[in-house]
Amino acid sequence: MPSLREFAGQELRWTRQHFFQSAYELRAGDEVLTTVRRVGTFKTYDVAVAEGQQWTFRRAGSFWKSWTAIYSGEVQEVNEQTQPVATYTRVRGGGRLTFSDGRSYNWTAVSRWRSIWAWTGPDGVPLLTMRTSKRLTIAPEAINLPELPLLVHLAFHLMRIAEEQAAAASAAAASAGASL
């Protein structure tokens, strides 16, 4: 697969591989750049692969206070010895990704209606943007970031969680309305 860095400035699109599978590809036209798949039924986690690297994204916490631990490789079971390479924590208006060495990035809405989100560095400069329509654009400022593939995958992971939460809230509201 080609490097994500080669496609900076272009609009890329996340697509579902097959209707009955929970696997997605990031594409530049017909070219597949990276993949992510959901594993498990009840305790699910995502496994992402890009540029010879692999990560596991495991979500924990409650609706109001949730976080995602990111592990190197595919981690099927987490125990006391399993240390994440980074942790994403929700904060008001977005979230923060913090690596074990202290580096951090912010996830923030950049459009009024929260349809466009961005990873920003400590200086506030957008490094990549992700639209709710699963379209992603890598900024030229992100080309040299070693963690770029991880940021790309985590952006997709976070947008998918937001979609799932919105669908659950909509279903709950519809159910409550039907019972009145």
The number of folded domains in the chain is 1
pLDDT in tens, 9-29: 999 999 998 877 789 999 999
Alpha-carbon distance 145 to 130, whole Å?
17
174 touches 145 (CB < 8 A):
no
pLDDT in tens, 145-172: 999 999 999 999 999 887 776 777 777 7
What the block records as the tokens of 140 is 């030229």
Alpha-carbon distance 81 to 78, whole Å?
8
pLDDT band at residue 123 under the 50/70/90 scheme: very high
Sign of CA dihedral 37, 142, 59, 87: positive
Q: Which domain holds residue 20?
A: 4-178
The residues, any chain, with a CB within 8 Å of residue 116's CB and separated by 6 or more, are 109, 110, 129, 130, 131, 132
Please give the pLDDT value at position 174. Answer: 79
pLDDT band at residue 63 under the 50/70/90 scheme: low
Beta bridge partners of 25: 15, 35
